[in-house]
């Protein structure tokens, strides 16, 4: 285990009807004038936004609204939100939605009290301070409800970048599994895949002696495998939704990723797919992960064999551990396909002729000066091209 810092100060209010507590929670964390930030019309149509307003009214808290966040949230709406917050003297940003809404709210909260351009934070400046943020989560996937991260796409060049800082960790997050029950099967499966990816990215490490975090990550992937299957069989299964929702937070607030190097190659490689073909992030990860792991398997056969045995229930082949390792990767692939995720480039809408361009942008675009990606295995453009070819 390596030295580390861990800080996750968010107050989590979990369970049925908890959105009704949002007025009291905003008050508890010092908010008086709130910006309610949300996405499309589903939060309005479902009555969620009305319940939120009702709770704020009961607590005597003033509010204004800004809807319209899209998946892969954009800088334009962030600038609009910042102007609105300044003009209306907003002192608290309340995100009602999934990861995109929360990430957009984080950008607005940081930008509102910063004299420069908020985009500075997405070019590497650590976010020390922001307006306080609360979230009401409606999709279990991105883990933004418990993280100090935000990803925004700058419309000037369509550049997608991440920012980080303790200043944008939510003061509170309300996790009501019922709010995720109306998600269609495909988006539910995308969320499951995203959570599993957050766990694999942490599992694939070169750090030694990381028993406690290895075991914790395995327990969460096991949970996703079991509860993911349950929820796909019955999308209204509250208990399966609840287990997935808590697992999604624990998977990404980094309590299970501390003290170890991490990978994140699958996220980097997927990112180019969703940027170019506008596919869902989870769907892209479902195709990317098995390819990356197949390519990297020989780097640490015993690590892949370990997860194959402990999580995927494979029998250890002591005469041929690599066989077990690869069986585990195939078991992951089968699981993802079984919940309705795509299995290859074609199903994703990606094209073979774009591979060179995809690999080039992945390794040389987005301000990447090293020309390499991956914390587990260092991958150059030719490696990334080979990985994309494994997805055909």
Residue 124, classified by CB atoms within 10 Å of its CB into exposed (0-12), middle (13-18) or buried (19+), is: exposed
Out of 32, 182, 219, 344, name the contact with its own copies by CB under 8 A: 219
Part of the chain binding its own copies (CB under 8 A), chosen from 54-62, 94-102, 206-214, 354-362: 206-214
Taking the complex as a whole, the smallest distance from the CB of residue 167 to its own copies amounts, in Å, to 13
Whole-number minimum distance, CB 81 to its own copies, in Å?
A: 27
- Using rule CB under 8 A, residue 250 touches its own copies: yes
| Residue 191: φ, ψ to 5° | -65, -45
Binding mask 157-196 for its own copies (x = CB under 8 A): ----------------------------------------
Phi/psi region, residue 48 (left: phi>0; alpha: psi -120 to 50; beta: rest), is alpha
Query: Cβ of 381: how many Cβ atoms within 10 Å?
Result: 18
**Should residue 4 be labelled a site residue for its own copies when binding is judged by CB under 8 A?**
yes
Residues 179, 19 contacting (CB under 8 angstroms): yes
29 binds its own copies (CB under 8 A): no
Chain Cα centroid distance, residue 380: 25
Is 8 one of the binding residues for its own copies (CB under 8 A)?
A: yes
- CA quadruple 115, 108, 85, 94: dihedral, nearest 10: -150
Q: Nearest distance from residue 302's CB to its own copies, in Å?
A: 16
Q: Taking the CB of residue 363, how many other CB atoms lie within 10 A of it?
A: 24
CB nearer its own copies, residue 242 or residue 279: 242
Q: How far is the CB of 44 from its own copies (least distance, A)?
A: 25
Residues 137, 152, 247, 384: which binds its own copies (CB under 8 A)? 247
Q: How far is the CB of 333 from its own copies (least distance, A)?
A: 22
Token pair, residue 146, equals: 């418990």
258-277 residues in contact with its own copies (CB under 8 A) are 258-259
Applying CB under 8 A, does 15 fall inside the site for its own copies? yes
- Report d(CA 124, CA 248) in Å as an integer: 26
Q: How many CA atoms lie within 13 A of 42 on its CB side?
A: 15
Using the rule CB under 8 A, is 79 a contact of its own copies?
A: no
Q: Does 246 bind its own copies (CB under 8 A)?
A: yes
What does the block give as tokens for 136? 């009401």
Closest CA to 133 of 256, 253, 35, 264: 35
> According to the binding rule CB under 8 A, does residue 216 interact with its own copies?
yes
Nearer to its own copies, 151 or 242 (CB): 242
Residues 6+ apart with CB under 8 A from 83: none
2 binds its own copies (CB under 8 A): yes
Contact residues: its own copies, CB under 8 A: 1-16, 18, 208-213, 215-216, 218-220, 222-223, 226-227, 239-240, 242-244, 246-247, 250, 255, 258-259
């Amino acid at each position: 285990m390596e030295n580390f810092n861990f800080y996750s100060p968010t107050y989590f209010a979990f369970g049925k009807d908890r959105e009704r507590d949002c007025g009291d929670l905003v008050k508890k964390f010092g908010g008086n004038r709130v910006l309610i930030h949300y996405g499309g019309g589903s939060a309005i149509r479902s009555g969620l936004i009305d319940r939120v307003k009702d709770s704020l009214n009961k607590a005597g808290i003033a509010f204004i609204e800004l809807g319209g966040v899209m998946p892969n949230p954009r800088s334009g709406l962030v600038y609009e939100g910042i102007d609105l917050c300044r003009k209306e003297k907003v002192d608290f940003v309340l995100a009602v939605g999934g990861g995109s809404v929360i990430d957009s709210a984080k950008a607005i909260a940081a930008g509102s009290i910063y004299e420069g351009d908020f985009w500075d934070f997405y070019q590497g400046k650590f976010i020390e301070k922001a307006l306080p943020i609360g979230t009401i989560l409606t999709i279990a996937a991105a883990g933004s409800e418990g993280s100090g991260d935000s990803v925004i796409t700058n419309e000037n060049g369509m550049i997608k970048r991440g920012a980080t800082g303790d200043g944008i960790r939510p003061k509170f997050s309300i996790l009501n599994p019922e709010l995720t029950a109306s998600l269609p099967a495909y988006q539910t499966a995308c969320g499951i895949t995203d959570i599993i990816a957050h766990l694999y990215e942490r599992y694939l490490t070169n750090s030694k002696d990381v028993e406690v975090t290895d075991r914790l990550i395995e327990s969460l992937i096991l949970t996703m495998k079991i509860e993911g299957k349950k929820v796909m069989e019955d999308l209204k299964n509250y208990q399966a939704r609840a287990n997935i929702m808590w697992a999604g937070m624990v998977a990404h607030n980094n309590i299970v990723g501390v003290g170890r190097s991490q990978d994140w190659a699958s996220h980097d490689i997927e990112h180019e797919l969703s940027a170019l073909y506008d596919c869902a992030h989870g769907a892209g990860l479902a195709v990317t992960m098995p390819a990356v792991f197949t390519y990297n398997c020989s780097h640490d056969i015993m690590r892949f064999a370990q997860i194959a045995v402990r999580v995927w229930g494979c029998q250890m082949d002591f005469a041929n551990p690599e066989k077990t390792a690869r069986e585990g990767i195939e078991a992951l692939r089968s699981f993802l396909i079984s919940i309705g995720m795509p299995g290859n480039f074609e199903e994703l809408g990606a094209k073979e002729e774009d591979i060179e361009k995809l690999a080039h942008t992945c390794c040389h675009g987005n301000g990447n000066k090293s020309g390499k990606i991956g914390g587990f295995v260092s991958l150059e453009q030719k490696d990334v091209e080979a990985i994309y070819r494994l997805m055909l």
